[in-house]
Structure 1
Amino acid sequence: DTVVMVRRNVFNILEDARIERIGRFKFPGVSYAIEDLNEYLYTHTPEHENANEIDVLMQMLLDFVSVDKIKRALTGDLADVWDKIVPLALKAKYSDTCSDCYRYTKKIMSLLKRFIPENEDVESPSQKPDNIVGSLQDINAGTGEIPGTNSGIKVLIVSEQQSGQNAGSAAGTGTGAGAGEDNGSGENSTDARGKPVEETNSLQKEDNGLLAMLIQALNISFGEHIQDQGDDAFDQKVAADIQEMAANDYHIDTMYGDYDCLEAYVAIKADVAPVTQSLKKGLKNILNYNTDEMSRYLHSGRIDSKSLGRIPTGAICAKRVEKSDETDLNITVLTDLSGSMNGIRLESAKKACIVLQEVCRSIKIPISILGFKESSRRRAKILHFGDPRLRGKFAYTGIVRMTASGGTPLGESLMYLPRFLKKQQEEDKLVIVITDGEPNGGPGLSKAAVTEVSKTAKVYGLAIGEGRANLAAIFGARYIAIDSLDKLPRELCKIIEKNLFRR
């Protein structure tokens, strides 16, 4: 039955991704190899031009859960279905049990069922090949040497083009991985696992392509390891630079993410995926506005040096929306982490921050994520969870470390921003404050702080609690009440559109 076969393939795809995710989490040492192997398979899997809809969707599902990207853009009905599949696939990948993964498989099948042909064969998506060679020798990933040998013999570190040829010759001469040694007794040589060399050599000759692929993945993964070490050192310098802004009146902590934060971050990211997609879609519509179309009704007026378009000097003419350079905008999010934010409010704040961060990263707008709470000895405690300068692979996941406690020094925390914003190079600065609207000492100090920050940035207040009267008094016209995350994309589109464009 075709439906059964498709369901089995979909479940295998999702369960493989779930097992790989658990392997990366519990054994970080294999993370690089898994990622690079998936990337290699993604780039070397050919696309079938005449594939039917279900084949396309299954291959896209495999690519998405393996490398978090797809090769083609869908349109129409397929695009709508794919948008619904994405959050379900992420939830299946991050399920704790096989039964949960199967539950999401059935939900995905309910979306795919109408695309399954009754009388046509459905191709299975290209899966990862089985490794029938195995690890015949232990290899030091740092030096490329085989442990226990005094001769300094190294494994073949070769290019992809040479690997197939050299792997076979190395096996035959006894100098490569999997080669046997003569024990001097006249008996057949054996490899590290006790198998006859002839059998091992035949396996290697049959699977030179797989061996080359694994060697390449090992080489690339070690290079990434060295790169990660350099990135971590750079991030430490960024943290030290931020600490210098503390002076004597603020307690500053850097709370960047690491590998341990990844699973929790991706789980929230999957939960808010529909909201993120909605905001991305809205902003892409804004960014794709036909900015090249000049006002064709202008026949007089001076030429603007920046836009090279005519500027009216008095005559009635058409009005043109002009897009600003995205690199001139920098967004800073300041999140209330006081005790009153505990529970659902804190979870909503985390989700809002992740939505904002994911969207800004996708459209290349620098964004900083900050939090504030009460400090026993200083004006306020400022926590930095994200910074656009960070290079670490998992540094952006620090948002999941947010916790709530203490009072709400909103005004004092806002007064920290001018010194922080001063270091930003972008011309336009946007500050979004997420709070429940219950500041220490009433709204007076906070309102004065907003006025001060407004000299260098546009300040918006997002209310996710019940203290809306206070926030309306503090932020004035730039106060926005967010009843639910579903409302967030529309409101944020309005905010960012106003700051990406000038009329």
Structure 2
Amino acid sequence: MNQRQYALERALPIVAAAYGEQFGVRVVLSGSDAMTDGKTIVLPMLDNMSEMKDVLFGYLSHEAAHIRESSFDTLKKCRSEIEKSMTNLIEDIRIERAIQHAFPGTQFTLEAMENYIHERGWTPVPTTAESEASQLFRYLYHRLYGEFLDRQVYQPLIPESLKVLEQTFPRGFFVRLDGLLAKYMMSMTTSDDALKVARAILKALKDAEKEEEQERKSGPDSDSSQPPDPSPDGQGDSSDPNSNSDSSSSENGDNQGDSSPEAADQTEGPSDASGEQSMSDQDSAGDQAESDSSSDDSSDAGAGGTYERVMSEQDMPTNPGQQLKEDLCSQAREDQSGKSFEIDTGVGQDMRNGNGDTSELQAGILTSSSIRSRLLGLLQAETRQRQWLHDRGRRVDGRRLSRLAAGDTRVFIQRDEHKRPETSVHVLLDTSGSMSQRQEIANQATVSLALAISTIPKCDIAVSMFPGCGGSVSPMIHRGQPVRPNLGRFLVSSGGGTPLAEAMLYAARELSASHKPRQVLIVITDGSPNNGHAVNYLLDLMKHQIDTYAIGIGSNAVKSYFGNWTVINDVRELQSALFRIAGNVLDLDP
């Protein structure tokens, strides 16, 4: 791959558009935003990829996973800040696992994103100075990413975070937590499952604190000479996350203290593959959690304790994903004019064969024949070997040996042959509403170029229109498709705006996928684009990578954006104008 091609394929808009197409999501490149609304991913436009390339595409993969997998209504069901933060974290783990399974290559960019987040100091080890809710969130962040997504940067932080929590949280909580994570983290299938796991973890904390309080109260009254009752309140052996406490719970008439995975499955846990609990149990699970809390009012368990403080905490750590969004926005390209702009990467449906009378294209078809013959003549002259005499070499021109007597040693034959690079061309045809009086000329210009270039050796062509069929741009002729059998596709009508930037981005993507060492873009339009700032951005991006030319149809507005341009006002000017453009495309001098 040559350097031009390599640089183009690494360009942010090109790769972002390709990612969006692969993931099946809509991507919009914006001058200053990084966000997702559940349908569209908005990425900031950076000047270059540099070291942020993998981080940005990790963010794109993460947000694409949310669009593909998440229900954005789930967080609305959360009843506390800690529940919301934990649900969001658990859901992030679930959806990243899903997209890594569907697209294994995303693992590397997602890991690069997390490495960057950690390096920026957004996921520190908790301290005892922080609230218990913050400590719990940071510990879970390290543990879930380290264990269930194998993010190595967090694995050494798990024991460090655990040491901090052990100073505040009940010992029984960690046993329960181990059982819950082992059973449910790998089997979640929906966003509501993430909420259920979060609620089960919080209930485990509540149960562990209650158990600890009961043990503390019963301690002084117990006979130290007798071994302790293994299940004083129906809990069973807390060291066994799978212990069954149904019988002891029946004796006491209260199973609130049981936060084993099985109990969590009955009240808070997610549905699993066996269908033990349907997702319709979500509301009843939440109601049960609330009733559990209210039923403890008569007991000292949890009153003013860790669980209560965790549930009432309002000041949670900022989500690292949100910090990444803000960081990306701060690095976004700032246009000199101070105006923001966007480029939508969406592509409409292919243009189908038209049923119109192709006689409307005859002027363009005839012009293409004339251009083709002249171009072929120039190609033959250009590729013909040029021969001259030199004073050194390996082959002597016998007819010039007489020069030696006069002291002229230039009798050696030298030959030079100019090798023309293979070229891929993409033509963009403006079909906006302002083209209504000029569309016929534009159609003829487009078909002339398509027919002429498609017959030139070492050249191939693709043609697209903007606006397209249900999108900003639509393919008319794909690369490698024959032009003449598809002439009906060039009979297009006018309507809509002028999404030139979106069309140029699509053309750049298409050209970057070609294997020719040279790429050429030809724009046929009559006026100014919808978004001139975005056009300038893309022209700057493609500079030195794609040779760009413009044909103005009855307007010289193209000169405001393109360095190489020409204007035609009448079909009679078509031949000479197209010849100038075609000659420039092929580096030919008439």
Q: Could you say whether these structures have the same fold, taking a TM-score greater than 0.5 normalized by the shorter chain as the test?
A: no
Q: Decide which structure has the larger Cα Rg and report it.
A: 2
TM-score range, shorter chain: 0.3 to 0.5
Structure-2-length-normalised TM-score: 0.36
Structure-1-length-normalised TM-score: 0.41
